[in-house]
Structure 1
Amino acid sequence: MTEVTLNHAFLMSSYNTASERALAHIALDMHTGTELRVLVGGLGLGYTAHAVLASSRVAAVEVVEFLPQVVDWLERDLVPLSPMLKADERFSTVAGDIYSILAAQPREKFDLILIDVDHAPDDRLSRTSDFFYTREGLRQARLHLARGGILGVWSYAESSPFAQALQDVFQDVRIEPVTFFNDLIEEETVDWLFFAR
């Protein structure tokens, strides 16, 4: 099992990746197109990107990772899925801030934008993502989506304010709980996935 912490704060783990994979699978199920271009915010241990690449309907996956160290781990094969990700010519990754990218004018459009950076909309790693969770920020992020595009956001907790903001900006909003039993702490855990188009 691989776990990553930053300043003693838990960031990511390979213990259970069901919700990270579901972020990709559900978004793909919601989009009927082919030759899909996918933007992933947050490389983590690579499970969301790997799940996206499993689809033959995907033409390209661009991952934006805030921590240069995580990109370096990928390049040095320290991330469990490194060999498989790097071997897929559809995959690319850069060090950067996904929230700054989505707040700017779009340089290109994506069919899927999948975000797994903050712990939750109400539990953020830094203030740089504050704008994204506002109605204005979501309207700006929507400009980066191609017609019929899907925005997906991972969270460890429900967030009624974020759900309402999504409903105010997008026509179709879907919220999916992903439940699993964590035998390390012997209790059921629920992650939450927010989707909008």
Structure 2
Amino acid sequence: MKPPFFEILAYEPTELGILCLRRRELLCEPGTIVTEVTLNHEFLMSSYLTASEKALSETALQMHSGSALHVLVGGLGLGYTAWTALESDRVSHCEVIEFLPQVIHWLEQGLIPLSDKLNADHRLNVTQSDVYQRLASPPKQKHDLILIDVDHSPDDNLDKANSQFYTVDGLQRAKLHLEADGLLGVWSYAESSRFVDALHEVFREVRIEPVTVFNNLINEEQTDWLLFARD
């Protein structure tokens, strides 16, 4: 019997720990090949279930009626949030801020599933930096949409320094980077009443969107949470 396909594409140390990019065939769906990322040997993201990452851009675009939009995405990951934004002809520019240079190299080397599409789109600019530091600093430019998909949740951060963003003070600083009719969107794997309270204190309108899918890998439904805010 032929063993399932498994390939390590990258395995490298980073400031946050050991980062691994792998490609494998699913045991539950023979013939289905997925790309996955682990950090310190813990699962981080996959190309198998991407509905919530896509919905972060889709819902934000539905909520904003403007055109020639400037979008800022915090976290490149496997590129699904950025690419979904770029699929809209109402987006004129999309900047992705990615903390780990290794992840940017994966895109440049064509190792992630959306590499060809992303690398060919002239509207995309990928910057190696800390999106939280950017949003905590005085704005040099403003954005119509700011979409954050970096941490597991507002209460479960990849780096403890990120926690400041999820406070009233952090959100007030981030809000300065939005255009007058701009929108902030944040991805989370869990609800966070503390963060929702902070959003309500800083913004006039807060919208919470659960995204539920059936995960064949664990044979149960799972829900991610999208949190949007604007004035």
Q: Given the two structures, how large is their TM-score scaled by the length of structure 1?
A: 0.99
Partner of residue 121, structure 2: 88
Partner of residue 221, structure 2: 188
1:17 alignment partner AA: T
1:120 and 2:120 matched:
no
What's the offset of the Cα at 1:96?
Answer: 0.8
Partner of residue 178, structure 1: 211
1:65 and 2:94 matched:
no
Partner of residue 18, structure 1: 51
Q: State the Cα RMSD in Å.
A: 0.6
Q: Identity percentage over the alignment?
A: 62
Which stretches in structure 1 are left out of the alignment for 5+ residues? none
What's the offset of the Cα at 1:9?
Answer: 2.0
Largest Rg, 1 or 2: 2
Moved over 4 A (4+): none
Q: Given the two structures, how large is their TM-score scaled by the length of structure 2?
A: 0.84
1:110-189 alignment to 2 at 5 Å? Answer: 110-189=143-222
Equivalent residue in structure 2 for 1:48, among 63, 69, 81 = 81
Distance in 1 of aligned mates of 2:77 and 2:41: 17
2:201 alignment partner AA: D
Q: Secondary structure in 1 aligned to 2:169?
A: helix
Distance in 2 of aligned mates of 1:149 and 1:115: 14
**2:54–2:80 CA contact under 8 A, matched in 1:** yes
Distance in 1 of aligned mates of 2:129 and 2:115: 19
1:3-42 alignment to 2 at 5 Å? Answer: 3-42=36-75
1:90-105 alignment to 2 at 5 Å? Answer: 90-105=123-138
Q: Secondary structure in 1 aligned to 2:214?
A: strand
More strand, by proportion:
2
Instruction: Figure out how many residues of one structure are paired with residues of the other and give that number.
Output: 197
Which stretches in structure 2 are left out of the alignment for 5+ residues? 1-33
Q: Secondary structure in 2 aligned to 1:122?
A: coil
Partner of residue 106, structure 1: 139
Q: Secondary structure in 1 aligned to 2:226?
A: strand
More helix, by proportion:
1
Distance in 2 of aligned mates of 1:7 and 1:183: 24
